[in-house]
Each structure stands twice: as structure tokens, then as C-alpha cells.
Amino acid sequence: MKQGAALAIGLIAVALAAGGGYWAGHRSPSPATPDATPASPAAKKPLYYRNPMGLPDTSPVPKKDPMGMDYIAVFAGGSDEEPVAPNQLKFSTEKIQKMGVRTEPAQLRLLDKTVRAAGRIEPDERRLVTVASRYEGYVERLHVNASGQAVAKGQPLFEVYSPELVSVQREYAIAAQGVLSLQGADSPAQLGMARLVESSLQRLKNWEISEEQIKALVASGETKRSMTFRSPASGIVMEKKAVQGMRFMPGEMLYQIADLSAVWVVADVFEQDLALVKTGAKARVTINAYPDKVFTGTVSYVYPTLKPETRTVPVRVELANPGLLLKPGMFAQVELGVSAKAKVVTVPLSAVIDSGTRQIVLLAQGEGRFTPREVKLGARSDDFVEVLDGVKDGELVVVAANFLIDAESNLKAAVAGFGAAPAAPVAAASAPAARTAGHQAQGTIDSIDAKDNSINLRHGPVASLKWPAMTMEFKLANATLLKGLKAGDQVSVEFVERQAGEWVITSVKK
């Protein structure tokens, strides 16, 4: 009996020891135990909180904007969920695809450009000839009696009667006979008569009487009542003032003849392109009358004057005119190819958002992030523009849907503040409360300016700003807030001060 009792007590003791060991082996270790599992690291602390609408205000502590949206935490080293910089913009992949955002890298390239200008065909002034007589006379008969008629050099133009011409011919005939009659006389008399003959011939030459006519006069010694006036050059009669039977005076224009085998194109180049135009450059000319033909010429002269009405400078292009296809007065389109001397950093023209006072491009940072960057632009080509400062070679810029991003994210507010964003949350905390806090008001819409995206509101007192009732202009955060509104509507609005004196409505309810 005693042995059985002792055995039972021993079995119970073994069972208790085993149970205690199992419990001790599965118990959580004490924090002081060296083998204890270390505690999980503390959550990463945000640097500051930024405005969810892209406005240039930050907060050192969590808060909400006037529309009830939570400010977004910004962490050191960036985040997969939100941008780091206060001015950075963030969109979902789905929204980016819907907007059709497309990017291209800024590239080094030769910025070739084509300067285009409108021009007109004009006669070469060096090939214009004016037909005018050097003596007084009458037109007895016309051989060329229409403008536009082609003439050759030496071709008869008209018959002329001139009392002066007849008198000189008679003077020559008498002097010639005197020389013959004085062949046996003393030498002073012969010399005087010879000088008279020479003087008469010289007068005829000075009056542009042709050599052929002078030789006929010398040979025959007969005075002719009328003489033929011949064309001094080949070309087209541009103007004819000679009329049969008319009297003309010395120096009066009777015909104007132009040689149109070569013509000028006078193109009006805009002031901003003038520095690209150089004498000797090749020009490509097209005419509406011959759309399938291209004429090639050379820039021969850049005029020294500017037309203030059009801000253009005339540029002369010399052009061959085979077949006389080009008529004076025709309009022409001139293209001057300008080659760049060295490669420069360029972006597509569509990448630039020009506000009038500054130029902005959107840099794609990946994961739906975009950063506005102010740039300084240089020369332009048809498709690209040189970036002097602001973008480096290889950086991705948005070239399509950048204006949609601008509208979607209120880019103007972000850009206005990205140069003056606070470096630390403390600076943001010291900003005036009116700039970051929202306010509420009720009133009646007096007028709506959809173009300026603003309304005139006759509102009641605003307690948060200690304003009395008054009428003032408010901007709207986006154009969609105007939908369904009209003058006379009674509304309740929430608004913020985006910058000094600029009050922006963020919410409107009728």
C-alpha cells in the first residue's frame, strides 16, 4: 500500500514538472531578457504637410483645407504615394491616361529654321530703260504703239520731226561743202571749216543719233525732215506715253522698257527674324500661279529701313526668269533656310506654357509626378525652341496635355509659390492665418465674368475676418464652380486668400 501511494505521488510530480516546463517554454519573453525579439521601428515622421490643391501653403501639423480635404504629409526621402516638393503635382495613372499626357526628353540638336515671308515680283531696277529725247520735236509715226510689246535693241520705236535736228543737219551739210570748196585755200580757213563739220557731227552724236544715220548723212549730204528713233535696249514696253502727233520736250519720257529675263522678289521679313537673314543666302520662291514650280534665288540686299506699320524689313532676292513666267506685281512666298552653328538644348514648342510674363514647362518625375519649371527661351524653329536656362539635356518634359494638367491642378497657384516655398515648417507656421484658413459667407451674385472666371458677390458680414456686409469681386478656384450659376442667385460660399488681396472661392452652394 505504501509503495502504491508513493508511486502515485511520483507520477503526479512528474506531470506537474512537465506541465510547468511546457508553460515556461511558450511564455512571451520579458523585455529585459537578452533573447527577446526587438520592438518594431517607430513610424516615419513627416517633415510637414502641404496643401492638397497645390496652393503654396504648408503646415507643421495635420489640418484640413477650407473644402475639408486633409493636408498631405511629406516625408524625408520622398514617398511612393505623394510628391516631396510642395510645388510638385501628382496624378493617378488612370487620370494621366485619360488626359493623354505625353512626354519627350529635352535634346541637343541643331536648331535649323525656315524664315518665311510674303513678297512681290518687281522688275530689276538695273534693267529698266527710259526712252527720252534730248531735243524738242514731234512724233510723226509710231512703230511700237502698245505697252507690253516686246522690242529688241535697235528696233524702230517712232519717227520724229525736229526743227533743231533739221537745222543741225543743214549746218553739217554746209560745213561739209565748205571743206570741199576750200581745199586750195590757206590752212586757217580749212581748219575752221573742218572744226565746224566736227562740231555738227558731235551734236548729232550727243543727241543719240545712231551711227548708221550719221554715216548716211555724211555719205549723201542731204538733210532729212524726219528721223527714226530706235530702242536703246531689248525688253518689254512697261509704259508708253508717246502718241502720234504729240509734241515732246527734251528729257520727257516717251517709253519705259524693262528687261524681265531676271527679276527681283522684294520680301517683307519680320523684325524678329531679321538677324537670321544674310546676304548671299539661298531662297526658295513659290508663286500661286505655278504651284508645281519652285524658283531658286539669292538674297542680294537687306534694306536699311523698317516699315513701322507692319514691323517688317524689305529683303531683295534676285531671281532668274526663264520663259518670262514671273510677272511684275505677282505675289510670292519666300522661304529662307537658316542653319544653326552648334547644337543647343531644345524642347518641342508644345511643351511651353506661356503666361505672357514667364514661360513654364512641366518636368515628368515619374509615378505620376510633375514639377513646374520656369525656363528662359532662345531661338525657335518650326517645331522646337532653344532652352537657355531651366531644363537640361535628357530631362523629360510634358509635350501633350500640359494645359490640361495646368487646369486640373491649379498650376498657376503652385507656380506662383514654388520660388518662395518655406524651407522649414516653422516658416509656414508663421504665415498669417487668413492666407491658410477658410472663411464662409452668404450673399447674392450681382454679376458673373466667365472670361475672367470671377463673380461680384453682395455678401453679409464675415465673422472670421471681421468684415461688414459689402459687395466685392471673388475669383473661383476652377471654372466648373460657375456651372448653373447666374446673376441674382443667392449662394453660400467658402473662400480663402490665395495671395495678398486675392480672394478665391473654393465652394459654392445655392
Task: Render pLDDT for 123-165 as a digit per residue (tens, 0 to 9).
Answer: 999 999 999 988 899 999 999 999 999 999 989 999 999 998 8
Q: What was the pLDDT predicted at 44?
A: 63
pLDDT at 476 over 80: yes
What whole-number percentage of the chain has pLDDT above 90?
Answer: 30
Query: pLDDT value at position 353?
Result: 84
What integer pLDDT is reported at residue 246 of this predicted model? 94
Half-sphere exposure of 13 (CA within 13 A, CB side): 6
Q: What is the pLDDT of residue 215?
A: 77
Q: In angstroms, how far is CA 318 from the centroid of its own chain?
A: 27
- Beta-carbon contacts of 125 under 8 Å, excluding residues fewer than 6 positions away, are 264
Using one digit for the tens of pLDDT, what is the confidence trace for 184-239? Answer: 666 777 777 778 888 888 888 888 887 788 777 777 777 788 888 999 999 999 99
Cell of 160: 520724229
Cα 139 to its chain centre, rounded Å, is 58
Of 230, 250, 252, 233, nearest to 241 by C-alpha is: 252
pLDDT range class, residue 95, cuts 50, 70, 90: confident
Helix, strand or coil, per DSSP, at residue 237:
strand
Say what the pLDDT of residue 56 is. 64
- Averaged over 370-386, what is the pLDDT? 85
Give pLDDT, residue 254: 94
Write down the mean pLDDT value for the chain.
79
pLDDT digits (tens, 9 = 90+) for 296-310: 999 999 999 999 999
- The residues, ordered by sequence, that sit 6+ positions from 247 with a Cβ below 8 Å of its Cβ are 136, 137, 138
How many helical (H) and strand (E) elements, i.e. helices and strands, does the chain have?
Answer: 9, 31
Q: What is the CATH number of domain 432-509?
A: 2.40.50.320
Using DSSP, state whether 35 is helix, strand or coil. Answer: coil
Write down the architecture of domain 125-258 according to CATH.
Beta Barrel (2.40)
Rounded CA-CA distance 315/374 in Å is 36
Cβ atoms 380, 332 nearer than 8 A: no
How wide is the angle at C-alpha 264 spanned by C-alphas 262 and 270, nearest 5°?
Answer: 155
**DSSP per-residue letters across 423-464:** SSHHHHHTS-HHHHS-EEEEEEEEEEETTTTEEEEEE--BTT
Closest among 325, 316, 324, 329 to 267, alpha carbons compared = 316
C-alpha cell at 260: 524681265
Place of cell 467658402: 494
* pLDDT at position 321 over 90: yes
pLDDT, position 8: 42
Q: Please state the rounded mean pLDDT for residues 82-111.
A: 76
Mind giving me the DSSP string for 317-370?
EEEE-GGG---TT-EEEEEEEE--SSEEEEEEGGG-EE-SS-EEEEEEEETTEE
Q: Which H/E stretch holds residue 129?
A: strand 128-132
CB of 506 closer than 8 Å to CB of 67 = yes
Using an 8 Å Cβ cutoff, are 425 and 58 in contact? yes
Query: Which residue bears the cell 475672367?
Result: 452
Side-chain half-sphere CA neighbours of 216 within 13 A:
9
pLDDT, one tens digit per residue, over 255-276 is 999 999 999 999 999 998 888 8
Assess whether the region 125-258 and the region 432-509 belong to the same CATH fold. yes
